[in-house]
A and B are shown apart, each in its own frame.
Chain A
Amino acid sequence: MRKIGITTTVPSEIIFAAGAVPLDLNNIFITDPSPNHYVEIAELAGYPRNLCGWIKGIYGVAVENKIHEIVAATQGDCSNTHALMETLHLKGVQIIPFAFPYDRDRDMLMLQLNKFMNYMGVGWLEVDAWREKLQRIRRLVWELDRLTWESNQVTGFENHLWQVSCSDFNGDPEAFYHELKGFLKEVKMRKPLKEQVRLGFMGVPPIFTDLYQYIEKIGARVVFNEIQRQFTMPFEVRELVDQYLLYTYPYHAFARLEDLQIEIKKRQLDGIIHYTQSFCFRQIEDLIYREKINVPILTLEGDRPGLLDARSRMRIDAFVEMLR
């Protein structure tokens, strides 16, 4: 089966319609038993030490797993993506550029979708049919999200995992759907979770592997995963282009802010953890969120994959303590 590597959420409907499968390289990286070895592959190849761990991990995954085609979000994701793609191109990888227009221009996005479809050799008929199929799954994931914050039956990590997996539906939407259905049936029988402190998590998915578990251990729970929820495209719209226009992640901070404000209220969050990656440009945006969001924010920074370090644990402890 033709596998298309992706480094962030891009219109997977188009990839599936072409009879190919998307493969989220982030997920392969972070779920590996020894993710750091991917980082080392990149560093040995000459990637700087002071560069985001996700980028290095993705490079290592692409090289080691011999991925031949990768969609490059050349706009709207990460400026490091350019150099990442150039270095992968050097290794013989076929690069498929895809740009989310900075100003959220509908025509520009339409053009990008059409170009992507041309490259994959599919038409709107197949793409729309796949949109319907995936929408059915997305709705189930929205329900899982609701069970997280409203009926309190889903943990922060489960919420994170299912939502983040919507970038590629684990490469098998059918299996994903059935597994999710089973999971939902099971959680609906659970007693509501009773953590005192309700947290939101914003920013790119954490490189720490035990963050959610640690937070629950000290009596708090994440009931909102901002970007992961965006990956599920929680909007009922009629056209694919509108779906990817409403999606906040690839556009500016203010689009995210609007979404955040609504969810903070709705989910009654006590505080927010803003996670950013060491050496990531998104650290700058922290100042916008600190100024505009009126619940307490803890800014957390991660570098390499692994367990939380002592310093971050201390800061989370103090934050939860403060909100109690």
Chain B
Amino acid sequence: MLFCGIDLGSRNVKVAIMEHNKIIKTAAFDTINFYRNHAVKRNQQLYIDFSSLDIPNCDRVVSTGYGKLTVKLAGADAIAEIKAHYLGAVHQCGLDDFTLLDLGGQDSKIIKIAGGKMVDFVTNDKCAASSGRYLENMAGVLGINLEQLSKYYENPVELSSTCAVFGESELIGKIVEGYSMEELAAGVNYTIFKRIQPLLHKIGYNPLVFVGGVAKNTALTEILKKELGASVIIPLLPQYNGAIGCCVYAFNIQQSH
């Protein structure tokens, strides 16, 4: 049996395919491209052209993400994002007690899991300052790519602005003051940590499972370990965690029938 999980994110649409409790394939598409070229809307429902995406026909499709609220995927069940992430993380890391940190394209979530159950969560407010989008913008200002940006965490410059837009002008100010690219990049990575630190304190954080696109930022992982003194676990497919959670949900339903 094949299960398909689709995470309709703000920047990317992520797809995971599961066969008998094992993930066998993943794929990511640019969100705008995805809607424009691979989907059509008919009678308030979204039909996806799976063959054009090179995705096999699945027995059950489950979706999550922002898209789930505005469009209904034809023939799919929809689940809340927080639930998808929690299921995905439990599946990926096999733990029962941990805190899940999900930093995605535009938002951040922190979910506490105890005894294999979700017991508390917080999400960021209407602000993109600790998201992947913010990192992209800041890398752009520094003239480097995301991969380079995510290498530095030592000697960070102090950046105080917590706003994604004003952060840019502050960064430019620091460039003018003559700081090195390494110090600037480290400073940017540190701002992410400072944004989520109070949220982590609210919920607790040991061990911390880190997922979402931003989990690819190794500098941030180092900062989290160093500042929190916690063990930080990054599962195999951090950016597909939500999609995997959808597969797990589909699998569970099938099992219970």
Interface residues of A (CB under 8 A from B): 290, 296, 299, 301, 310-311, 313-315, 317-319, 321-322
Q: Tell me, in angstroms, the Cα distance from A311 to B81 when the chains sit together.
A: 11
Q: Tell me, in angstroms, the Cα distance from A322 to B121 when the chains sit together.
A: 9
Chain B residue at minimal CB-CB distance from A291: B202
Residues of B close to A317: CB separation below 8 A? 80, 82
Taken residue by residue from 103 to 139, chain B's Cβ proximity to chain A (1 for < 8 Å, 0 otherwise) reads as 0000100000000001111110110000000000000
Q: A314-B123, A317-B80, A318-B121 are in contact. List 19 more A-B contacts (CB 8 A).
A: A290-B202, A296-B120, A310-B69, A310-B70, A311-B123, A311-B126, A314-B81, A314-B82, A315-B123, A317-B82, A318-B82, A318-B83, A318-B118, A319-B121, A321-B83, A322-B118, A322-B119, A322-B120, A322-B121
Q: Tell me, in angstroms, the Cα distance from A318 to B81 when the chains sit together.
A: 8
Q: B66 in the interface, Cβ–Cβ < 8 Å?
A: yes
Interface residues of B (CB under 8 A from A): 66, 69-70, 80-83, 107, 118-123, 125-126, 202
Chain B residue at minimal CB-CB distance from A301: B125
Q: Tell me, in angstroms, the Cα distance from A229 to B1 when the chains sit together.
A: 53
Q: Tell me, in angstroms, the Cα distance from A21 to B121 when the chains sit together.
A: 45
CB distance from B15 to the nearest CB of A (A): 20
Q: Tell me, in angstroms, the Cα distance from A317 to B107 when the chains sit together.
A: 17
A-B contact pairs, 25 of them (CB 8 A): A290-B202, A296-B119, A310-B66, A310-B70, A311-B107, A313-B69, A314-B69, A314-B80, A314-B81, A315-B123, A317-B80, A318-B80, A318-B81, A318-B82, A318-B83, A318-B118, A318-B121, A319-B121, A321-B80, A321-B82, A321-B83, A322-B82, A322-B118, A322-B119, A322-B120
Residues of B close to A315: CB separation below 8 A? 82, 123
**Count the A-B residue pairs with Cβ separation under 8 angstroms: how many?**
38
Chain B residue at minimal CB-CB distance from A317: B80
Q: Which 7 A-B pairs have the closest CB atoms?
A: A318-B82, A317-B80, A318-B80, A310-B69, A322-B118, A321-B83, A321-B80
CB distance from A2 to the nearest CB of B (A): 43
Residues of A close to B120: CB separation below 8 A? 296, 322
Residues of A close to B202: CB separation below 8 A? 290
Residues of A close to B107: CB separation below 8 A? 311
Residues of B close to A301: CB separation below 8 A? 125
Q: Tell me, in angstroms, the Cα distance from A322 to B111 when the chains sit together.
A: 11
Residues of A close to B66: CB separation below 8 A? 310, 314
Q: Tell me, in angstroms, the Cα distance from A315 to B108 when the chains sit together.
A: 12
Chain B residue at minimal CB-CB distance from A310: B69
CB distance from A307 to the nearest CB of B (A): 12
Q: Tell me, in angstroms, the Cα distance from A317 to B66 when the chains sit together.
A: 13
CB distance from A217 to the nearest CB of B (A): 13
Residues of B close to A290: CB separation below 8 A? 202
